[in-house]
Chain A
Amino acid sequence: MASKVLIVDDEPNIVTSLEFLMRRRGYETRVAADGDLALEEAERFQPDIVLLDVMLPRRDGFEVCQQLRATGRSDLKIVMLTAKGRETEIAKGMAVGADAYVTKPFSTRELVDQVARLLEGGS
């Protein structure tokens, strides 16, 4: 069965690429454009991995991540994708339970590899 990827970002231009890349690798994808929708979609869709932007309307990525970790499945992988690149922000992302923290702009190849690794159970 194909792995399920939830893409959470409010910028359609990056979503287009992420969706394309994930589909190309044969993953099933869904998109959520803000923090609240992300939590709803995670509940409904039961993804294996979440690509989570930090700057989101309504509820920021850190909060969504924390919420997912508090209530969701333990094997869910979370990759934080963000333009916030300060050390303190990265530390916070890891602290609230992200499996990986990727700053924008990123290499698509590396991202795709990282997602594949996480889905295979690596880190």
Chain B
Amino acid sequence: MNAKAKFALALAILSLAVGAGVALLAVGVWSSVSPGDQAVLTRVLREQAALVATGGLLLLAGLGALVALFFKLYVAAPRRLATETRLIASANPDHRLEVRGPGEVRELAVAVNELADRYRSARSDVEGQIAAARADLERERNRLAALMSELTLAVLVCNVEGRILLYNAAARQLLDRPVGLVGLGRSVFGIVDRSLIAHALACVRDSSAASHPAMTARGDKLLRVQIAPVAAEGGELAGFVLTLDDMTRRAEISERRDALLRALTEGTRASLASIRAAVESMLDYPEMESEQRRRFVEIIREEATGLGAQVERAMSESSGYLHDQWLLADMLDRELLTALGRSLDGEAGVRASIDEPGDERWLRVDSFALVRAVTHLAGRLHAERGVDEIGLAVRGVGRHAELDLRWLGAPLDAETLRSWTEQPLGPGGRGAASTLKEVVERHGGELWCRQDEAGRGAYVRLLLPLAEVVPGPPPVNPAVPDESRPEFYDFDLFGAAEHAPAWDERRLDELAYTIFDTETTGLSPSEGDEIISIGAIRIVNGRLLRQETFEQLVDPRRGVSAASQRVHGISPELLRGQPTIEEVLPAFARFASDTVLVGHNVAFDMRFLQLKEAQTGVRLTQPVLDTLLLSAVVHPDHEEHSLEAMAARLGVSVIGRHTALGDAILTGEIFLKLLRLLGAQGVVTLRDAREAARRTYQARVSNSLYARG
């Protein structure tokens, strides 16, 4: 009951009460006087009727005013206070109650204001803490994402079910063949054998090691997989981390090295056998005829020559991979000089001046060992020859680079240089190279010292191999703009339901979706129109994964109508040489496996795909949702359910329309908004959504029948 009604009711009850009192008094007076007086009273009342009525009205008005005042002070004021208190609690914590009215009400207002102050400060404390925690988390996540994308090692993090929670660009580059295997929420067992992971995890459990290495082959690649378990609180397995390394090249090298070693030992043995047998025969049978002896001598000479050639061949072949090849990496000469300069300044106490090389060259070096070794040399020069300044320069000569250390003063004699190069480099070493000599040998290089051309100074020249191919940094996700943080991880999947219930029972917000769209040569699938492009994007855990897209043009093996070409702008030339639907559809099915298919007016696209079932052997059996029908569920009063109209209604910006991927992304953004609205309408599970959509579909069909009729 509102205040006005209460006020009217109170006034009415009060008036009735006063009226009844007056009436009772009148009746009492009336009955207690004599009939004569009654007649007098009657006459007086009749003559003074106006006065009595006016008095009565005045009394009523007075009562009304009294009640109104009372209401204003003691009923309306608390109501106002309640409303405003609610405002403070919900919308505007800075609002304060006006302190006015009678004392009791003022006291209440002051008390509420005090409470509001406390509430505000508590709230801002909590908000600050939440914001700080969130910022921390965000920073950490960004750091993680940046770290992951920088790593050249492929990394995959999975939950205990084997679903991928995190991957980096290197993982995608190494493993995503065929495309669509690497993705958030996808099973890692499509990439790495399940039993291999189980075996490795068992090995870790049974040993003190933190991780277990294993080898696996994928296509023509040999991969080294390092598997480490991730424990949850309480110690049980929550998931595991895989790092993968392409060992193909290393394995090749080690294989070639083995083969070389085998050929060398076996070949040497065979030749030595021939020589030894010939020599021993001659020694044991000195009386043999001269023709036989001549043949043996000839054998010895021939085999000895062959041995020499074989060793020579082995040496030249092995120089490339007999060393610790993988410590060598390609490095720009300029960067090596910079590193050397810094180390000379800092470690050797020598001022380094660098001759900027004109054109850039890639060197194949173990930069760490090399810098350490050269710094050692500079340190000796400084300590024993008083050299304070060293010029550094690199020059390319044929397949080598000359790295020069120049100083003013006398050159080192061969004996001194040899002893310096054989001195241990000191602690902090890595691998086998512990002297400058070994470092140079491992590079297949040479080192000498000469007086310079002008005769005023000297230089030590280091000959280093140039890298054969000029490498560029691998392109890391060129399609991803920098400002968007790559969504390569989703740790919320750690808590994913262990056993997925049947599709229909699952909640819409925990399903994975593939939003897709096709472009076609025309609008009549049954009359020979064909798909010319498929674009798709995934939604996992309520997020549109912009890194996980599928986009492929398809050669329709027929013409494209001018009308549809105007829509999608794909010319027949673009389609020539593209894969055919027989190749594309299986790839798309892999990409969409284990997800609900979503499209706008999806029946059209599904019709095209279904017509290809027999030809491609691909049947998409998963559930399908249509954003057009879902829009009709959410907005039954709107007529217009085109992508543009929905985008406008839901506040989604429209860009990149009319490419299959562009439309898929737009549909995905719209779908995410629809999901929220569906939830508000109590459409929670996939079954709910499908049934609601079916009802609107029937409604639409009957409407259109009706419209046609």
Residues of chain A having any CB pair with chain B under 8 Å: 11, 13-14, 16-18, 20-21, 24, 55, 81, 83-85, 103-109
B393 at the interface (CB under 8 A from A): no
The answer, among A11, A55, A109, for a CB contact under 8 Å with B274, is A11
Alpha-carbon separation in the docked complex, A108 to B277 (Å)? 6
A83 touches B270 (CB 8 A): yes
Asked if A14 contacts B269 (CB within 8 A), the reply is no
Q: Within 8 Å of chain A (Cβ to Cβ): is B440? A: no
Q: Give the distance to chain B from A64, nearest Cβ to Cβ, in Å.
A: 18
Query: Does B354 sit within 8 A of A, measured CB to CB?
Result: no
Which residue of A20, A84, A106 is within 8 Å of B266 (Cβ)? A84
Question: Does B278 reach chain A (CB closer than 8 Å)?
Answer: yes
Q: Closest chain A residue to B272 by CB distance?
A: A105
Contacts of A21 in B (CB 8 A): 277, 281
Some 30 contacts from A to B, beta carbons below 8 A apart, are A13-B274, A13-B299, A13-B303, A14-B273, A14-B274, A14-B277, A16-B295, A17-B274, A17-B296, A17-B299, A20-B281, A20-B292, A20-B296, A21-B281, A83-B265, A83-B266, A83-B267, A84-B266, A85-B269, A103-B269, A104-B269, A104-B270, A105-B272, A105-B277, A106-B273, A106-B277, A108-B276, A108-B277, A108-B280, A109-B280
Q: Which residues of A contact B284 (CB under 8 A)?
A: 108-109
A51 CB to closest chain B CB (Å) equals: 11
Tell yes or no: B302 within 8 A of A by CB.
yes
User: With contacts A13-B299, A109-B284 known, is A18 near B277, CB below 8 A?
Assistant: yes
Asked if B706 is at the interface (CB within 8 A of a chain A CB), the reply is no
B273 and A105 contacting across the interface, CB-CB below 8 Å: yes
Taking a contact as CB atoms under 8 Å apart, the answer to whether A106 and B278 are in contact is no
B260 to chain A, nearest CB (A): 15
Measured CA separation A21–B279 after assembly (Å)? 12
How many angstroms between the C-alpha atoms of A109 and B280 in the bound complex? 8
Bound: A5/B637 CA distance, A = 104
Q: Complex formed: what's the CA distance from A84 to B296 in Å? A: 24
Residue of B nearest to A111 (CB): B277
Alpha-carbon gap, A21 to B302, bound state (A): 20
Q: A20-B292, A83-B265, A105-B276 are in contact. Are A14 and B270 (CB under 8 A)?
A: yes
Min CB distance, B308 to chain A, in Å?
15
Chain B residues with Cβ below 8 Å from A14 are: 270, 273-274, 277
Contact: A16 with B270, CB < 8 Å? no
Smallest distance from the beta carbon of A89 to chain B beta carbons, Å? Answer: 10
Nearest B residue to A13, CB-CB: B274
Q: How far is the CA of A24 from the CA of B280 in the complex (A)?
A: 13
User: Which 3 A/B pairs are nearest by Cβ-Cβ distance?
Assistant: A104-B273, A17-B277, A83-B269
A83 neighbours in B (Cβ, 8 Å): 265-270, 273
Inter-chain contact count A-B, CB under 8 Å?
66
Q: Which residue of B lies closest to A85 (CB)?
A: B269
Query: Which of A84, A105, A108 is the one whose CB lies under 8 Å from B281?
Result: A108
Closest to A15 in B: B274
Besides A13-B274, A17-B281, A109-B280, 4 other A-B contacts (C-beta < 8 A): A11-B274, A106-B273, A108-B280, A108-B284
Main secondary structure of the interface of B (DSSP, over half): helix
B587 at the interface (CB under 8 A from A): no
B274 touches A24 (CB 8 A): no
| CB neighbours of B278 from chain A (8 A) | 13, 16-17
Interface residues on B, range: 20 to 34
B273: chain A residues within 8 A (beta carbon):
14, 81, 83, 104-106
Contact A16 B266 (CB under 8 A): no
Residue of A nearest to B299 (CB): A13
Complex: how many Å from CA A85 to CA B302? 23
CB-defined contacts of B303 to chain A, threshold 8 Å: 13
Q: Give, as a whole number of angstroms, the nearest-CB distance from A5 to chain B.
A: 15
- Is B392 among interface residues, defined by CB-CB distance under 8 A? no
Q: How far is the CB of B700 from chain A (nearest CB, A)?
A: 76
Closest chain B residue to A53, Cβ basis: B270
Closest chain A residue, CB of each to CB of B285: A24
In the assembly, what is the distance between CA of A28 and CA of B364, in Å? 60
Complexed CA–CA distance, A11 and B303 (Å): 11
Does any Cβ of A come within 8 Å of B275's Cβ?
Answer: yes
In the assembly, what is the distance between CA of A108 and CA of B274, in Å?
Answer: 10
Q: Which residues from B are CB-within-8-Å of A16?
A: 278, 295-296, 299
Q: How far is the CA of A14 from the CA of B278 in the complex (A)?
A: 8
| Chain B contacts for A107, CB-based, 8 A | 276, 280
**Contact code string B276-310 (vs A, CB < 8 Å = 1, else 0):** 11101100110010001001100100110000000
Q: How far is the CA of A109 from the CA of B270 in the complex (A)?
A: 17
Q: Bound complex: CA of A105 vs CA of B272, how far in Å? A: 5
> What residues on A are CB-neighbors of B272 within 8 Å?
104-105
Once bound together, how far apart are the Cα atoms of A17 and B283, in whole Å?
12
* Distance between B276 CB and nearest chain A CB, rounded to angstroms: 4
Select from chain A the residue with minimum beta-carbon distance to B306: A13
Distance to closest chain A CB from B490 (angstroms): 50
Which residues in B have their C-beta under 8 angstroms from that of A24?
285
Alpha-carbon distance A83/B273, docked complex (angstroms) = 8
Instruction: Name the distance in Å between B314's Cβ and chain A's nearest Cβ.
Output: 15
Closest chain A CB from B430 CB (angstroms): 32
- How far apart are the CA atoms of A105 and B267 in the complex, in Å? 11
Q: Which residues of B contact A84 (CB under 8 A)?
A: 266
A107 to chain B, nearest CB (A): 7
Residues of B within 8 A of A104 (CB): 269-270, 272-273
Question: A116 → chain B, closest Cβ, in Å?
Answer: 14
Q: Which residue of A lies closest to B270 (CB)?
A: A83
**Chain B residues, CB < 8 A from A13:** 274, 278, 299, 302-303
Complex Cα–Cα for A120 and B266 (A): 31
The complex places the Cα of A11 from the Cα of B284 at a distance, in Å, of 22
When the two chains form their complex, are residues A105 and B275 in contact, meaning their CB atoms are under 8 A apart?
Answer: yes
Q: Are B299 and A11 in contact (CB under 8 A)?
A: no
A-side contacts of B277, CB under 8 Å:
14, 17-18, 21, 105-106, 108
Give min CB distance, B311 to chain A, whole Å: 15
Find chain B residues with CB under 8 A from A17 CB: 274, 277-278, 281, 296, 299
Instruction: Note all chain A residues with C-beta closer than 8 A to B268.
Output: 83
Bound Cα distance A16, B298 (Å): 11
Rounded to whole angstroms, the CA-CA distance of A1 and B627 in the bound complex is 100
Looking at the assembled complex, report how far the CB atom of B244 sits from the nearest CB atom of chain A, in whole angstroms.
32
A11 contact set on B, CB distance < 8 A: 270, 274
CB proximity of A53 to chain B, nearest CB, Å? 9
